[in-house]
Amino acid sequence: MTFALCIAPDPASLAALIGNRADHILGGAIVGANPPLRPALPWSAIQAVAAPLLGDSSAWIQELWQTDEDCRTGEFAGIAFRRNSELLYGVLRFDEQNFVGTSGQLPLQTATEEAYRRIFALLDRQSLPYLWRVWNYFADINRETDGLERYRQFNIGRYNAFQACGRTAAGAVPAACAIGLRDGPLSVGFIAGGQPPLAIENPRQISAYDYPAAYGPRSPTFSRAVLITLAQQQSLFISGTASIVGHRTVHPHDVAAQCHETLDNIAAVVAEANHHRQGPSFSLNSLTYRAYLRYDSDYPVFRDVISQRLGTDTSLVCVQADICRHDLLVEIEAMATLPARSR
Ligand code: 3EB
């Protein structure tokens, strides 16, 4: 089985991508403030990331996970999913208003815990138990309610669900991102499989699950990257990566320096992954990137650093969105696939 991330920036390339092989599409994300009203595919395992695209004339970009097997559609406990023999892509959207905080819990915490409990229940039922990569979006990530920043509320709920569902909350944890949007529901998209992922950490950073308590009552549950080794391919999912060294934000008011530091962190994660790589290495300019900028006015500076470091024909989608620490101005995630080994 093989899978690949394909990006369609307009209706024509989307139609060409889907072609007569819609059965082979697992799911994906639609990114942009103005997505088309009518979905291009007849099922709903598509995560809507409602954030303005920067530096791009298109209104939206569609990312699709394509496989070489027929996929089937399912629904479980509010999760829309598609799966093939080895791989599952799912999306869940929760309106927080429907989650009244239970005994001292806040609604976002309760919604997050319930979301992850349902995801783990689905994965167990489908016998594809390993969560590889999670994309988390919710409104007002930096706002404090009842004395606790919403990102920190989210972290408590996520941690509780990992604990409750018999998953470790440190070490072998999925790659992830957690991003703030202007409004909208808690949206969790994920890829899971039958193969355990190899979690990769960054020697320049403290593992997020070991962050000190100053960053919240529960640490974030994610690894810096996961490496997936299948018979025919190795795939690297790099988590949202920011200008953090050790556990501290560095260059708080300098977007250019944050971009450089972030790329240094991604380079360090890629180097770690390459220790486990059979065959030619992953390289920075062969990754597919998604970037989040807190201020759209920082885009020209961001673009300069990117072209300086990665050249001008990198696959990179950039949107305006909030990062989980108020002093972070940019966050970049990436993925790559290579053949399993050279022949
Ligand atoms: C960081 O390194 C920046 O909570 O799932 C990056 C990726 C970040 C994932 C998450 C948070 C998350 O801590 C923030």
Q: Please give the Cα distance from 244 to 261 (Å, whole number).
A: 8
324 C-alpha to center of ligand 1: Å? 7
Per the confidence metrics, is the pTM higher than 0.95? yes
Q: Alpha helices, DSSP H only, in the chain?
A: 11-18, 107-125, 150-164, 255-274, 299-310
48 C-alpha to center of ligand 1: Å? 20
List the chain pLDDT tens, one digit each, 343 residues: 999 999 999 999 999 999 989 999 999 999 999 888 888 999 999 999 999 999 977 889 999 999 999 999 999 999 999 999 999 999 999 999 998 877 778 899 999 999 999 999 999 999 999 999 999 999 999 999 999 999 999 999 999 999 999 999 999 999 999 999 999 999 999 999 999 999 999 999 999 999 999 999 999 999 999 999 999 999 999 999 999 999 999 999 999 999 999 999 999 999 999 999 988 999 999 999 999 999 999 999 999 999 999 999 999 999 999 999 999 999 999 999 999 975 5
CATH code at 3-339: 3.30.1330.40
The answer to whether residues 39 and 11 touch, using CB atoms and an 8 Å cutoff, is: no
The tokens for 220 are 């974030």
Number of continuous H segments (helices) and E segments (strands) in the chain: 5, 20
Active site residue 331: yes
Mutate to test the pocket of ligand 1, among 137, 187, 201, 239 (most ligand atoms within 8 A of CB): 239
Those residues with Cβ within 8 angstroms of residue 214's Cβ, 6 or more apart along the chain or in another chain: none
**Which residue's CA lies nearest to atom 13 of ligand 1?**
208
**For the chain, domain boundaries:** 3-339
